[in-house]
Amino acid sequence: MSAQSTIEAVGLTRRFGEFTAVDGVTFGVERGEIFGYLGANGAGKSTTIRMLIGLLAPTSGSATVAGHDVASDPEAVKRSIGYMSQRFSLYLDLPVFENLRFFGGAYGLWGRELESRIGEVLELTGLSEHRRALTGTLPGGIRQRLALGSAVLHRPSIVFLDEPTAGVDPVARRSFWRLIRDLSTGGTTVFVTTHYLDEAEYCRRIGLMVDGRLVALDTPSALKRAWVPDRVLVVRGRGLARAAEALRRRPGVHAVEPFGAGLHVRADPALWNRAAVQEALAAAGAESPTVDETEPSLEDVFLAVVGGSAAAGASGAGAAP
Amino acid sequence: MSPSLPKRFAVRVGAMAWKEVLHIRRDPRTIVLALVMPVVLLLIFGYGVSFDLDRIPLAVSDLDRSEASRRLSLAFTTSGEFAPAGGEAADGADTAFRRRRARAILVVPRGYAKDLARGEAGRAELLLDGADPVTANQILTKADAIALAETQRMASEAGAAFAPPLEVKVFTRYNPEARSAVFMVPGLAAYLMAIAAVLLTALTIAGEWERGSMEQLFASPVGRLEIVLGKLVPYLGLGLVQLLLVVVVGATAFDVPIRGNPLLVLLAGFLFLLGMLGQGLFISVVAKNQLVATQAGALSSLLPSLLLSGMLVPLDNMPLPLRLLSTVVPARYLVDALRQILLKGNGLGGIGPDLVAMAAFAAAIVGLATARFRRRIA
């Protein structure tokens, strides 16, 4: 890929016995970019990350991270990156600053430099007031910020975040993503896996994994254009349930799904527009429906990519809250 | 920005060790296991599991009711080794033993005084509760000694010098009163240090696997050796404190002598601990979860150090296979070294082979554990 790439994977593959967890994945991540890696549970996201950070040797293919080959020089990779694993791995019985001190020390920081970095990271993550708190007593969202803080103590040029917001409430997730954006603005490359599709909107580019293969890779809006060519309309009004049934049978209408109190309609843009949908619904018995055009969501993209019958199974894991 | 390699190594080991110290401080279980349990066990073993018997309850069934028979029973009951447990009919022996009223019954048959007066041998019977052979043996030895003393007394009263055909005088060196505490403290030190060291290290590393923090460590530049050293150093310190505690409690509560150089005690303890910590490390590297690690740790430290160390059972009496097995039990060498240093005042010359054996075990097991310890997952 471009000379700017700081992560480059070419045909990266990992097998566990007969099972191929990651199958010939090729991509590049640019400096300072937030790169989202999406997929249902078991799609191969964590396995990809573990290969990229030097924890797991690739079966075949290659990858360089920050200029170091992950297979031949994993130690150099480890020194130049930060990693926040999927399982919460701070020490709950230690105070916040002792966790930071430990992870700083693990990366060779010490003395005055360590203390000043701890101060900066506490500031960055907004944890200064919790400095002395026992980590186990803090709510999940704050712990995640601390985990991210301990992953960036040594100023890595790239951070890998494996499902950093799993099980965290929406408000805390938003503040966590603000932190990720701050890091990216400061020039840090962020490689993040998630199965929250709303979060993926924050990423500059998204890679979509299905069954170990990278099936789509682009910016969120390009993905939407490419995978969901339909016109997406939001309908509000009364008596929609019966009208929806009628609309669903019309040619060029691809999907009519309940969405809150209203409907989500996906239809062929050549045949359908706002007025046409409004007219059709009114004719089918809906009372003064209002129709607005909207951008397809990443969930639409995800369902389109996973496709057909697989969509039913994957939508549970990939559903936006 | 990039400090020298040895410095980075030291920083990372230091960070690991300091974190471990914090865990230990936070966890009262560790402190209890490492420092309170040894003292409690030492006191229990020292006082409770004493092989020295005194005030053994002795019932007397005096059928003769003569001056001579009374003197014989007095000789037994005033010795301090037996305590009078009341009169008892000889045919009530079973009941007395079953109800544990008496461990021995002295039966003086009718005619005892008459026999003596005729110049014949006075006969008395001692019925023993043989359920516990150790106790029965001791009672027998003590009864023999009392009978001998009584014979001598009667002989001298009669004006005749009593001269047994052969007299063996026994002088026991190093533990003349045969107090079991003196014998036990070195064994206990090995036993307690083995359990605490193996269990605590096994738990701490298995804990990192369970918590998922091991993956985080592996993703950092911290190396295997650095993890291992960082884990070992704090527990090594804790183990040495434990050893000092056992020796000091032994010396103050049970008068266990410290005849040799206390620094040698520490040196022997250090080498022993290295081996035990390595064993714990090895278990946790293989087991990866705390439950299995606890069981394997307890079994592999407790049984060998209790049974194959020479602490309770002399190794020389064991069948050959067990004796051979005991040569790879480091506790055996520590018990020997401690007995030599504490009781005999031996120096490096005496304990040299023990130190070499413990060092060899430590090097082998730490090497094996580090080699088995893979930093790549799967």
Q: pLDDT per residue over A292-301, tens digit each?
A: 988 888 888 8
What percent of chain B stands above pLDDT 70?
88
B344 near A CB under 8 A: no
**Interchain CB distance below 8 Å, A93 and B23:** yes
pLDDT at A160 over 70: yes
Q: Which tops the pLDDT comparison, B43 or B267?
A: B267
pLDDT at A319 over 50: no
Write the DSSP symbol of residue B48. Answer: I
**Interchain CB distance below 8 Å, A105 and B378:** no
Reference A292, options A236, A209, A217, A248; nearest CA is A236
CA distance B177 to chain A (A): 50
CA distance B12 to chain A (A): 5
Of the pLDDT bands very low, low, confident and very high (cuts 50, 70, 90), residue A230 is confident
Query: Taking all residues of chain B, what is their mean pLDDT, rounded to a whole number?
Result: 83
pLDDT at B91 over 50: yes
What distances in angstroms separate CA B224 from CA A87, B18, B283, B366, one per listed residue? 21, 17, 16, 11
pLDDT at A132: 94
**Interchain CB distance below 8 Å, A108 and B23:** no
**Interchain CB distance below 8 Å, A93 and B221:** no
CA distance B228 to chain A (A): 13
pLDDT at A49 over 90: yes
pLDDT at B305: 84
Using CA atoms, how far apart are residues B237 and B17, in angstroms rounded to an integer?
Answer: 11
pLDDT at A313: 40
Cβ atoms of B83 and B37 within 8 Å: the answer is no
Three-state SS sequence of A72-120:
CCHHHHHHHEEEECCCCCCCCCCEHHHHHHHHHHHCCCCHHHHHHHHHH
pLDDT at A34 over 80: yes
**Interchain CB distance below 8 Å, A89 and B216:** yes
Q: Which tops the pLDDT comparison, B257 or A88?
A: B257
Find the CB nearest A102 among B15, B215, B219: B15
| A120 burial type by CB count under 10 A (0-12 exposed, 13-18 middle, 19+ buried) | middle
Using CA atoms, how far apart are residues B19 and B17, in angstroms rounded to an integer?
Answer: 5
Could you tell me how many CB contacts below 8 A there are between chain A and chain B?
84
pLDDT at B253: 84
- For the segment B284-301, the average pLDDT, to the nearest whole number, is 86
**Interchain CB distance below 8 Å, B219 and A53:** yes
Reference A45, options A160, A141, A148; nearest CA is A160
Range from A101-105, B76-80, B239-243 carrying the lowest mean pLDDT? B76-80
CA distance A155 to chain B (A): 12
pLDDT at B310: 83
Of the pLDDT bands very low, low, confident and very high (cuts 50, 70, 90), residue A1 is very low
CA distance B198 to chain A (A): 22
pLDDT at A122: 95
Using CA atoms, how far apart are residues A147 and A208, in angstroms rounded to an integer?
Answer: 25
B14 near A CB under 8 A: yes
> Dmax of chain B from CA atoms?
105
Give the strand pairing for A205-210 and A287-294: unpaired
> What length does chain A have?
321
Give the strand pairing for A205-210 and A34-39: parallel
Using CA atoms, how far apart are residues A72 and A217, in angstroms rounded to an integer?
Answer: 27
Query: Taking all residues of chain A, what is their mean pLDDT, rounded to a whole number?
Result: 88
- Note the pLDDT tens digit of each residue in A81-96: 999 988 777 899 999 9
pLDDT at A72: 93
* A152: helix, strand or coil: helix
Q: Which residues of B touch A105 (CB under 8 A)?
A: 11-12, 14-16, 18
Q: Look up residue A296 and give its amino acid.
A: P
CA–CA–CA angle A253, A256, A262 (5° rounding): 135
pLDDT at A287: 86
Q: Which range, B3-12, B36-45, B79-88, B352-361, has the best average confidence (pLDDT)?
A: B352-361
* B288: helix, strand or coil: coil
pLDDT at B14: 94
pLDDT at A179: 93
Residue among A46, A48, A84, A85 with most chain B CBs within 10 A, to mutate: A85
**Interchain CB distance below 8 Å, A106 and B16:** yes
Find the CB nearest B14 among A90, A103, A105: A105
The string of DSSP codes covering B82-100 is EEEEEE--GGGHHHHHHTT
Alpha helices in A81-219 (DSSP H): 96-106, 111-125, 140-152, 170-185, 197-200
CB atoms within 10 A of CB B96: 23
Q: Which residues of B touch A104 (CB under 8 A)?
A: 15
CB atoms within 10 A of CB B45: 20
Query: Which tokens belong to B260?
Result: 């040799």
Cβ atoms of B251 and B337 within 8 Å: the answer is no
Give how far the C-alpha of residue B375 lies from the chain's centroid of Cα atoms, to the nearest Å.
39
CA distance B277 to chain A (A): 22
pLDDT at B176: 64
pLDDT at B50 over 80: no
**Interchain CB distance below 8 Å, A108 and B218:** no
Query: Which tokens belong to A239?
Result: 């008596």
A-contacting residues of B 25-54, CB under 8 Å?
A: 26-27
Using CA atoms, how far apart are residues B159 and B137, in angstroms rounded to an integer?
Answer: 33
Dihedral pair phi/psi, residue A185, rounded to 5°: -60, -35
| Enclosing H/E stretch for A33 | none
ipTM above 0.85, yes or no: no
pLDDT at A198: 86
Alpha helices in chain B (DSSP H): 5-26, 28-31, 37-43, 67-77, 93-98, 112-117, 133-157, 180-211, 213-218, 224-254, 262-287, 290-307, 320-326, 330-339, 348-372
What distances in angstroms separate CA B143 from CA B65, B66, B75, B115, B116, one per listed residue? 20, 20, 10, 21, 19
**Interchain CB distance below 8 Å, A105 and B12:** yes
pLDDT at B51 over 70: no
CA–CA–CA angle A57, A166, A65 (5° rounding): 30
Cβ atoms of B109 and B125 within 8 Å: the answer is yes
pLDDT at A314 over 60: no
| A218 burial type by CB count under 10 A (0-12 exposed, 13-18 middle, 19+ buried) | middle
- For the segment B229-246, the average pLDDT, to the nearest whole number, is 90
pLDDT at B2: 54
CA–CA–CA angle B57, B62, B66 (5° rounding): 130
- For the segment B202-221, the average pLDDT, to the nearest whole number, is 87
Find the CB nearest A108 among B12, B215, B378: B12
CA distance A54 to chain B (A): 7
pLDDT at B178: 60
Find the CB nearest A106 among B12, B26, B378: B12
Q: Which residues of A touch B233 (CB under 8 A)?
A: none
